[in-house]
Structure 1
Amino acid sequence: MNLKAKYFNDRVCLNVLTNSVENAKAIYDASEGHVLVGILSKNYPSVDEAVTDMKRYQDVIDNAISVGLGAGDPGQWKMVAEISQIIQPQHINQACTATGYTRALVGQEETIINSMISPSGRVGYVNMATGILSREQTPTEVPVRTAIQMIKEMGANSIKFFPMKGLSTRDEYVEVCKAVAELDFMMEPTGGIDLDNFEEIVQIALDAGVKRVIPHVYSSIIDAETGATRIEDVEALYEIIKKIA
């Protein structure tokens, strides 16, 4: 199975959602393969049904699948890990505390696994309590560089900084990007990203020296009637990427 898709050499790679094989293929073509196509575990009643359906996507989009939780729901952590063990996707979204379990289950180092952490409200610190139990407790305030090193130790490749709420957490995001660059990690800004703020959000990471940025652009480019990601918006985002990266 191909774990070296086109995006592996990209400094910026899109991550967008899909609701059908046809929409996924159109997304892949519109971005010339420089994309990870998100399929949410939460949309399936069981691991077996998810695996059966996701396998339909693999050949069509060169296995450029990003297995998702579903709105960052940590309750999906085990389902995400078990789906990923079987289909061996290019990319996995995971709650911070489930990162090590997931890396062990997929059994290889090539798949990118992100570790979901949240803004803490304090510049230079992040909240690592994003698991199904820990999120119900007092949020943590861990120095971002310490958090990154802990996440590396758990087998992740990337920070998923969620929910960013667009640029409302800009100061925190800037500091996280600096730390990610300094410690040779990957950055996945997520939450409230749209066509208007996309360029600035990505540029902040590039200016900080982040080696690979995977911005997640979700609800803002989904057609409310069809539930499909708008291909014209994918094209617009890809043009921005080609311009700045």
Structure 2
Amino acid sequence: MHKSVKFLNDKICLNVLSHDKENAKEIYEVTQGHVLIGMLSKNYETNEQAITAMSDLSVNINGALSIGLGAGDPKQWKMVAELAGELQAPHVNQICTATGFTRARLGQDETIVNALVGPTGRPGYVNMATGYLSQEKVATEVPIETAIAMLKEMGASSVKFFPMNGLETIEEYKAVCEACAQENFMIEPTGGITLDNFKEIIKIAIDAKVPKVIPHVYSSIIDKETGLTRIEDVKKLYEVMKEVSKA
């Protein structure tokens, strides 16, 4: 595991966005470093711009950078992989089908690379067709245990289950958590997570004995006027993390 990633009680690490360096630093401090700060590749026109901005912010948070796609946009896959290789960030968000390419660009196994798979409406099965071409085709329905085995073969560290739509896909999420626990694999629940459902979502993973969980909480805690991630909300999330991770 990369030295910049800290899991609270060896179980939970929060993943949130930040508006700027100061916002990121505050988030890092109130979570006592048990956080990964996401920066979205989609926000930059060139790799050079992204590398400059990400490197600059990373210094303020002891390197706890998470390179993101941008709303799961599969067209960003190559830029993310290239940035990952250049920056050697501790956490990378990636579409399922580009996982192997990304791991190869990194050239090491310490960075957490998640692989984005989606719900199917059928508990126990996930959609692996999340690539820029495959998402336009008929969705796949792969048993979650098989999917995890394939992700391991591609060099992934965790399942990014997206979009969860909050609690709408909860039965599918439970099945994914059970499989991750069985296969000793991390999970990253993403999409529609709020202050109201955060506890239930991370508790399901912890109760299932998933080794590590990285919940992504984005738009629900961002101030629409300023673009800043609200520090008070981050504090509330961190209190819940402390409570649940003691279980």
TM-score by length of 1: 0.98
Find the residue that maps to 1:66 and give its secondary structure. Answer: strand
Identity of aligned residues (%): 60
Give, in whole Å, the separation in 2 of the partners of 1:91 and 1:224. 26
- Counterpart for residue 3 of structure 1: 2
- Counterpart for residue 48 of structure 1: 48
1:104 aligns with 2:104: yes
Residue-by-residue CA offset, 1:185-244 (whole Å, 9 max, x unaligned)? 000000000000000000000111101000000000000001110000000000000011
Letter in 1 for 2:169: T
1:114-133 equivalences in 2 (<5 Å):
114-133=114-133
Q: Displaced runs of 4+ in structure 1, greater than 6 A?
A: none
Find the residue that maps to 1:149 and give its secondary structure. Answer: helix
CA RMSD of aligned residues (A): 1.1
Give, in whole Å, the separation in 1 of the partners of 2:7 and 2:241. 15
The runs of 5 or more residues in structure 1 that have no matched partner are: none
Give, in whole Å, the separation in 1 of the partners of 2:94 and 2:228. 23
Letter in 1 for 2:212: R
TM-score by length of 2: 0.97
Contact map agreement 1:3 1:63 (CA 8 A) in 2: no
Tell me by how many angstroms 1:19 deviates.
1.6
- Counterpart for residue 144 of structure 2: 144
Give, in whole Å, the separation in 1 of the partners of 2:67 and 2:157. 15
Contact map agreement 2:5 2:36 (CA 8 A) in 1: no
Larger mean Cα displacement after TM superposition, 7-16 or 144-153:
7-16
Give, in whole Å, the separation in 2 of the partners of 1:13 and 1:197. 17
Tell me by how many angstroms 1:8 deviates.
4.7
Residue-by-residue CA offset, 1:133-170 (whole Å, 9 max, x unaligned)? 00000000000000000000000000000000001101
The runs of 5 or more residues in structure 2 that have no matched partner are: none
How many residue pairs get matched? 244
Residue-by-residue CA offset, 1:99-152 (whole Å, 9 max, x unaligned)? 000000011100000000000111110000000000000000000000000000
